[in-house]
Amino acid sequence: MRIGVLALQGAVREHLAVINHLEKEGSIVKKAADLDRIDGLILPGGESTAISWLMDEELEHRLGLLAREGLPVFGTCAGMILLADQVEGGNGRQLSAIDITVRRNAFGRQIESFETKLAITGIGSDVPVVFIRAPYITRVGDGVQILARYMPNGKATSSSLGFPVMAKEKNVLVSSFHPELTDDLRIHRYFLAMVEAAN
Ligand code: GLN
Q: Return the SS3 of 119.
A: strand
Q: What is the C-alpha to C-alpha distance for residues 102 and 80, in angstroms, rounded to an integer?
A: 8
Q: What is the mean pLDDT of residues 2-10?
A: 97
The residue annotated as part of the active site, out of 47, 60, 115, 178, is 178
Which residues form the pocket of ligand 1, taking CB atoms under 6 Å from any ligand atom?
A: 45-48, 77-78, 81, 104-105, 132-133
Q: How far is CA 9 from CA 20, 78, 199, in A?
A: 20, 10, 28
Please tell me the distance between residue 50's alpha carbon and the centre of ligand 1 in angstroms. Answer: 10
178 annotated active-site: yes
Tell me the per-residue pLDDT of 107-166, one tens digit each, with 9 for 90 and over: 877 667 899 999 999 999 999 999 999 999 999 999 999 999 998 766 555 556 789 999
Amino acid present at 28 = I
Which pLDDT score, from 0 to 100, does residue 91 have?
Answer: 80
For a ligand 1 pocket test, name from 133, 137, 176, 178 the mutation site with the most ligand atoms within 8 angstroms of its C-beta.
133
Over residues 66-104, the pLDDT tens digits come to 999 999 999 999 999 999 999 998 887 899 999 999 999
Residue 178 falls in which region: left (phi positive, over 0), alpha (psi -120 to 50) or beta = beta
Q: Are strands 136-140 and 98-103 parallel, antiparallel or unpaired?
A: antiparallel
Quick one: which of 137, 196, 185 has its CA closest to 19? 185
The span from the first CA to the last CA of the chain, in angstroms, equals: 9
Domains in the chain with CATH codes: 2-198 (3.40.50.880)
Q: Which residues contact 25 (CB under 8 A, 6 or more apart)?
A: 1, 2, 3, 19
- Ligand 1 binding pocket mutation candidate from 77, 86, 95, 112 (most atoms within 8 A of CB): 77
Report how far residue 8's alpha carbon sits from residue 2's, in angstroms, rounded to the nearest whole number: 18
pTM exceeds cut of 0.85: yes
